[in-house]
Each structure stands twice: as structure tokens, then as C-alpha cells.
């Protein structure tokens, strides 16, 4: 009667295998560990893309399966990035300060070091005091815990308030956008304690590993991202493949009915919302060390909307759909907006893709919604059906 | 005999309109009851109150032994306490298989973390088989519920309610849109269900109520107009005036 996860979801095995092959190939081709055919910057792009795929899985879980169109999951992604960024920046600055004070006649006191760090980090926002939110910034372990705890608690409290008031549908979407906007506006302020619009930078330099070249570090992060994506995919597949998955799909399709069957709908929503917020935060914590910088613009409401677009294009309610959507659109986006796409001269006008990519994306979104409501992932259904016939 | 459900003097109004007006109602542990009444008599509102969807302005609703105060419980708590409700429109989860629909309805622990760790036992599988046989869907277990006919969806929904193993079953217009054969099957299902539990059927269709052959409560303007056998209430002059006479 009871079948294993792979038997219930054959696509999981296919996905994990493909991910493993892809990871090995890129590692072998990388500059840091092999043939040097794939540049360090491209390894970083791929590693970041894997993180975006992971947050897309979270989005698919909350929207595609549970029917909660959250337009705020990128805020959790960003918060995860901030939490790990604080440790990266603090420790690295500490190393720099200690090195610069090393020439002095007397060994520096702890007070002097703290002051040096404060000036270094917060000089740009006109301060030298280390804000209280940085209290744990010297502990990697604490900041790793905060990667999970801060976005998790925010999602828990926000979700509890929203779901218990039975806020659903488009109203909930608006509420999540409001939360995202408020968070981003708060972080833009200089006295938020997180360096205002400067954000946190230099995150690609990993304290304690500065002797290693970026070509090596980039592969490590690429591997960590691939591992996280694989693990996240397995967790999500496990969650959606059992009875829990049936219940959240039932919540998506008819909330009232499942409530009258005795299922506490709000509790389920809260579990899914919080779990996906934590997955998003972990993805963010892996993404930003590869990006090197995080600032409040990353949390702008539009980022969360893009996330929904990726999942819609890739195919909601199927985990590989989310991955396909996030990978395709984000890679295309960086290709088009990175200036690599050749402009199209029309004589009277030149189509410059940096400007026109948005139009193309919007058009693609409309076309997918109209003609492929199941997204790109829906194409696989036809393949499978053809095989069966 | 103590009543399973005891509704005492409830009233509720929406924007000044009194949907339920000082209504009292009782039903015993193993009883089949039909509630009839013209549109706007308060039949659906009555069900909404018992299932926790609507809160009455005044009155008491007590259920079971020991007596639970339903007005203090949420919809899902009431459902878990043993009240099942079937809506007028057949609402099954169309994207999922008949088996999954029944599995979800089985009276197991319904809290998220328990469900997350749930593994189907042989007992549960047998129960699903038995229910499918009862509702005549044994051959359709692996089919997607959305592919079923209208009547089959109604039965699946009744099967899901039976799977919940409620002490009280509230059924809203089960016969709507059914063929004659389907109606007979539905009547059998409901009568069998009422052998072990209380079943309340809200219905417009007199012919169907006659088939159920049970005690009838007539509602009008939010309160009970008459109660008794179908022949008894249809002979009542008040009932003829407001309902049948038109």
C-alpha cells in the first residue's frame, strides 16, 4: 500500500539525478577545480541561479500547492541574506581592523577593535556605534540560527495575524506586498542599523578563507547551493506527496469544504507559509555571499512579483516547473540585461534588449498564461501521456 | 431520551432581516429528519449556525454527551466533534483521486504535524474500500474526482461524510439534479446512515422527502411551523397556506 517517495513522485528521482550530473559537470569544468572552461563569474551566476530555483520551490509550495499567492517571499529571501551578511561583514572588517592596528606599539584593546569595526562599517551612515541588532554578528553559529529564526518568526507572526482574520486571495497578496514594501523602506533608512541604502557589501570575501582564490570559493558555494536545492526539493516533494499535500491542495481548491471536514485550515496555512519562508531565507543566505552585496533594493516589492512570474511561467503545482521557470527566466534575464544579447537594428530604431527585456518578459508571461496555463512544466504532461499511450 | 443536538431559542438577523427567529430544534442519536420550507425560511442559516459558520445573536446550541457548547467552537473543531455537513453543490476535490478524497475524510488526527507524518494503515485502506463499496464507487477509486458524473460526485461526498464518522450528518438538498435511479440510491444511503447516527436532510423536493419516510420539520420565516410525519404536516393548514398552497 505505502509506496516510497520516489515511486509516488518519479520526477523527484529524475530531478535529483539531473542536478547531480549538472553539478559534477560544472565542477569539473570550473576554473577552481578542473579544466577551467567555465569562468568563475559564470559559476557564480549558476550558483545564484540554483538559489533562485530553491526560493521558487518555496513559492510553488505556498502558491502552487497551498493557493496562497504570497507576494512577499523575496523579503524572507533578503532577510536571510542580511543575517548571514552581518557575520560576513563583521568578521571580515574585524580582520582588517586588527591587521591595521598590528603596527601599533601597544597591542590593541578589545574596545579599540570594536571602535575600529564600528567606524569601518557604519562610517557611511554617519555613525561609529555598533547597533544592537549586530549583537551576535561575531558568531557564525548565532547568525546562521538567525537566518532561520528572523524570517521564520516574521512569517509566523504575520501569517498568524493574517490567516486567523481569514484574509485570503488578492487581499492577502496585497498584505504581503505591504509587508515587503514596509520592510524594504525600513531597511533604506540609515538608522535601521543595516547601513541604509548602502546595504552590506564585500560578502564574497569569506572570513577565514581569504587565502583562497574566488575561483575556489565560488565552486564551494555552487556546490552548497546545489546541495541546498536538492535537499529543498526532497523536503518539498515529501511534503506534497503525502496526505499533507492532499490537504493543502484541498485548501487551495476549496477552503470552506476542507474546514468543514475538520481540518484547521489556518494552522495548515501557517505551517506552509512559515516553512516556505524558512526555505526562502536559506536560499537567500546562500545567494548573497555569491552576489557579494545586498541592499534594500533587493527586497523591493517587484522582486517578489517576479518570483510569482517565474513560477507561473514554469508551471504551478509541480516542483520541477518552479525550477524550470526560475532557471530559464533568471538566466535569460541576466543575459538580456547584461548587455550580451545583440541589439536588433531596425534602421529607424534599434531594439536594445536592456530596455526591451521587460517587454519581452511581460509578453511571455501573458502568452504563457493564455496558451499554456500549466506553464512550461505542463509540456512534460504531454510527453508522459504520449509514452503511456 | 436525551437529544444529541439541542438548539434552544436561537435568533439571528442580517441587516435587520430576521433569518432565524426564536428557533428551537432537537434531534436524537439515531434519527433521520427532513427539514423543509420555502426559500428564505432559514434552512441554510440553521445549518450554518450548527456548523459554526454563523454565530447567532442569542440562544444556545448544545451537542453530544457531555454537552458541548457549539457556539464556542470553530468550524473545524465542530467538525472534529462529530458534525458532518454536505453542501448543496457537490463539493469534492476534483483535482484529486476518489481514494485521496476518501483518505482525507477518514476520521484520523487532523492537525498539521500529525498529518505530515501520516502513513496509511491497512485498516484505513480497508475502510476506504468498504466506503467505496457502500457508495458504489469501488471501480473508480483511482479516477480523478473531477471526471465523475454529477450523481457520483454527490455519493462521493456522502461517502466522505461517512468516512468522517460523524454523530450528526447535515445534508443540504442531496437529490438536486439527480436522475430517478440516483435518487433511490441516495435515499438508501441516507437511511442506512441514519441507523447509526443522526441525519438531517434539508430538501425542497416533496417526492424525495416522502421516499425518506421520516419525521419532518417545517420551517417558515426562521422558526418551526410544524413537526411530525409528512402526512401530518401536509395536512396542517398553516403549512398549506405558506408552502404547499401556492
Q: Which residues of B touch A250 (CB under 8 A)?
A: 93, 96, 104
Considering only CB atoms, B96 lies closest to which of A2, A246, A263, namely A246
Place of cell 403549512: B239
CA–CA dist A35, A32 (Å, integer): 8
- 3-class DSSP state for residue A19? helix
Task: Tell me the CA distances in angstroms from A46 to A224, A240, B200, one per residue in order.
Answer: 12, 27, 61
A140 assigned to some structural domain:
yes
Q: Is the bond leading into A377 cis (omega within 30 degrees of zero)?
A: no
The set of residues, in sequence order, having a beta carbon less than 8 Å from that of A346 and lying 6+ positions away, is none
A109 assigned to some structural domain:
yes
CA–CA dist B210, B32 (Å, integer): 12
A258 and B96 within 8 Å at the Cβ level: the answer is: no
Q: Which residues of B touch A268 (CB under 8 A)?
A: 112
CA–CA dist A311, A247 (Å, integer): 21
Q: Which of A137-151, A266-280, A373-387 is least confident?
A: A373-387
> Model confidence over A28-50: pLDDT tens digits?
999 888 888 889 999 999 999 99
Q: Does A385 contact chain B (CB < 8 Å)? A: no
Structural domain that includes position A214? 5-300
pLDDT at A1: 41
Split at pLDDT 50, 70, 90, the class of A353 is: confident
Per-residue cell: B14:
442580517
Q: Which residues of A touch B119 (CB under 8 A)?
A: 2, 242
A345 assigned to some structural domain:
no
Instruction: Assign residue A375 a region (left: φ > 0; alpha: ψ between -120 and 50; beta: otherwise).
Output: left
A72 assigned to some structural domain:
yes
| Domain B5-244 in this protein, CATH class | alpha beta
Which chain B residue shows the shortest CA-CA distance from A257?
A: B91
- 3-class DSSP state for residue A271? helix
Do B197 and B30 form a contact (C-beta atoms < 8 A)?
A: yes
Question: At residue A3, does pLDDT exceed 80?
Answer: no
> Model confidence over B48-104: pLDDT tens digits?
999 999 999 999 999 987 888 999 999 999 999 999 998 877 789 999 999 999 999
A243 and B104 within 8 Å at the Cβ level: the answer is: yes
Q: Which residues of B touch A257 (CB under 8 A)?
A: 87, 91, 93
Q: What does the mean pLDDT of chain B come to?
A: 88
B105 and A246 within 8 Å at the Cβ level: the answer is: no
A97 assigned to some structural domain:
yes
CA–CA dist B244, B13 (Å, integer): 26
Q: Tell me the shortest Cα–Cα distance from A249 to chain B, in angstroms.
A: 8
Q: Tell me the shortest Cα–Cα distance from A274 to chain B, in angstroms.
A: 13
pLDDT at A384: 67
- 3-class DSSP state for residue B184? helix
> Model confidence over B29-38: pLDDT tens digits?
888 999 988 8
Q: Which of A141-150, A193-202, B39-48, B121-130 is least confident?
A: B39-48
A342 assigned to some structural domain:
no
> Model confidence over A207-236: pLDDT tens digits?
988 888 888 999 999 999 999 999 999 999
Could you say which DSSP state residue A343 is in? P
Q: What does the mean pLDDT of chain A come to?
A: 90
Question: What is the pTM (predicted TM-score) of this model?
Answer: 0.91
Domain count along chain A: 1
Question: At residue A356, does pLDDT exceed 60?
Answer: yes
B76 and A2 within 8 Å at the Cβ level: the answer is: no
Considering only CB atoms, B91 lies closest to which of A1, A254, A268, namely A254
Pick among B112, B114, B120, B144 to test the A interface (most A CBs inside 10 A): B112
> Model confidence over A87-111: pLDDT tens digits?
999 999 999 998 888 877 888 888 8
pLDDT at A389: 39
Euclidean distance between the first and the last CA atom of chain B, given in angstroms as a whole number: 38
Pick among A263, A269, A274 to test the B interface (most B CBs inside 10 A): A263
Amino acid at each position: 500500500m505505502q509506496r516510497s517517495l520516489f515511486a509516488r513522485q518519479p520526477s523527484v528521482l529524475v530531478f535529483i539525478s539531473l542536478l547531480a550530473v549538472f553539478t559534477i559537470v560544472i565542477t569539473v569544468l570550473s576554473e577552481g577545480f578542473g579544466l577551467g572552461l567555465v569562468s568563475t563569474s559564470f559559476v557564480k551566476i549558476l550558483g545564484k541561479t540554483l538559489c533562485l530555483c530553491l526560493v521558487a520551490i518555496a513559492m510553488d509550495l505556498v502558491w502552487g500547492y497551498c493557493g496562497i499567492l504570497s507576494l512577499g517571499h523575496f523579503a524572507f529571501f533578503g532577510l536571510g541574506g542580511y543575517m548571514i551578511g552581518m557575520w560576513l561583514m563583521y568578521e571580515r572588517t574585524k580582520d582588517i581592523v586588527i591587521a591595521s592596528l598590528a603596527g601599533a606599539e601597544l597591542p590593541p584593546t578589545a574596545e579599540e577593535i570594536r571602535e575600529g569595526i564600528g567606524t569601518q562599517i557604519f562610517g557611511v551612515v554617519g555613525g561609529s556605534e555598533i547597533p544592537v541588532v549586530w549583537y551576535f554578528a561575531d558568531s557564525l553559529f548565532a547568525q546562521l540560527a538567525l537566518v532561520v529564526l528572523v524570517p521564520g518568526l516574521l512569517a509566523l507572526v504575520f501569517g498568524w495575524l493574517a490567516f486567523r482574520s481569514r484574509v485570503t486571495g488578492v487581499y492577502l497578496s496585497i498584505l504581503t506586498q505591504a509587508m515587503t514594501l514596509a520592510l524594504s523602506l525600513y531597511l533604506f533608512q540609515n538608522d535601521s542599523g543595516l547601513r541604509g541604502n548602502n546595504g552590506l557589501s564585500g560578502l564574497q570575501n569569506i572570513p577565514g578563507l581569504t587565502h583562497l582564490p574566488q575561483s575556489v570559493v565560488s565552486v564551494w558555494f555552487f556546490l552548497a547551493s546545489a546541495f541546498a536545492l536538492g535537499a529543498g526539493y526532497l523536503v518539498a516533494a515529501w511534503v506534497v506527496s503525502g496526505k499533507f499535500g492532499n490537504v493543502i491542495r484541498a485548501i487551495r481548491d476549496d477552503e470552506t469544504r476542507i474546514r468543514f471536514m475538520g481540518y484547521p485550515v489556518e494552522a495548515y496555512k501557517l505551517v506552509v507559509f512559515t516553512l516556505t519562508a524558512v526555505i526562502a531565507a536559506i536560499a537567500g543566505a546562500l545567494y548573497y555571499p555569491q552576489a557579494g552585496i545586498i541592499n534594500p533594493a533587493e527586497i523591493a516589492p517587484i522582486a517578489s512579483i517576479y518570483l510569482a512570474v517565474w513560477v507561473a511561467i514554469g508551471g504551478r503545482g509541480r516542483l520541477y516547473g518552479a525550477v524550470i521557470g526560475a532557471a530559464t527566466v533568471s538566466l535569460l534575464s541576466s543575459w538580456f540585461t547584461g548587455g550580451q544579447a545583440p541589439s536588433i537594428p531596425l534602421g529607424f530604431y534599434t531594439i536594445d534588449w536592456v530596455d526591451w527585456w521587460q517587454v519581452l518578459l511581460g509578453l511571455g508571461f501573458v502568452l504563457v498564461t493564455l496558451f499554456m496555463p500549466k506553464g512550461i512544466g505542463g509540456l512534460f504532461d504531454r510527453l508522459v501521456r504520449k509514452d503511456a499511450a | 431520551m436525551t437529544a444529541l443536538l439541542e438548539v434552544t431559542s436561537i435568533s439571528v438577523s442580517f441587516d435587520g432581516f430576521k433569518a432565524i427567529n426564536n428557533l428551537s430544534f432537537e434531534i436524537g442519536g439515531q434519527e433521520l429528519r427532513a427539514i423543509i420550507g420555502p426559500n428564505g425560511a432559514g434552512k441554510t442559516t440553521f445549518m450554518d449556525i450548527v456548523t459554526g459558520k454563523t454565530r447567532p445573536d442569542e440562544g444556545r446550541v448544545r451537542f453530544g454527551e457531555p454537552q458541548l457548547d457549539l457556539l464556542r467552537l470553530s468550524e473545524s473543531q465542530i467538525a472534529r466533534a462529530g458534525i458532518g455537513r454536505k453542501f448543496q453543490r457537490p463539493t469534492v476535490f476534483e483535482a484529486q483521486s476518489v481514494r485521496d478524497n476518501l483518505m482525507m475524510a477518514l476520521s484520523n488526527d487532523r492537525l498539521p504535524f500529525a498529518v505530515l507524518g501520516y502513513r496509511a494503515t491497512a485498516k484505513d485502506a480497508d475502510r476506504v474500500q468498504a466506503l467505496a463499496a457502500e457508495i458504489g464507487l469501488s471501480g473508480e477509486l483511482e479516477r480523478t474526482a473531477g471526471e465523475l458524473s454529477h450523481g457520483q460526485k454527490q455519493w462521493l461526498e456522502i461517502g466522505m461524510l461517512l468516512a468522517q464518522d460523524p454523530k450528526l450528518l447535515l445534508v443540504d438538498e442531496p437529490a438536486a439534479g439527480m436522475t430517478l435511479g440516483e435518487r433511490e440510491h441516495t435515499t438508501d444511503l441516507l437511511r442506512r446512515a441514519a441507523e447509526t447516527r443522526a441525519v438531517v436532510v434539508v430538501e425542497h423536493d416533496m417526492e424525495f422527502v416522502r421516499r425518506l419516510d421520516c419525521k419532518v420539520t417545517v420551517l417558515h420565516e426562521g422558526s418551526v411551523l410544524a413537526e411530525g410525519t409528512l402526512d401530518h404536516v401536509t395536512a396542517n393548514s398553516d403549512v398549506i397556506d405558506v408552502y404547499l398552497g401556492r
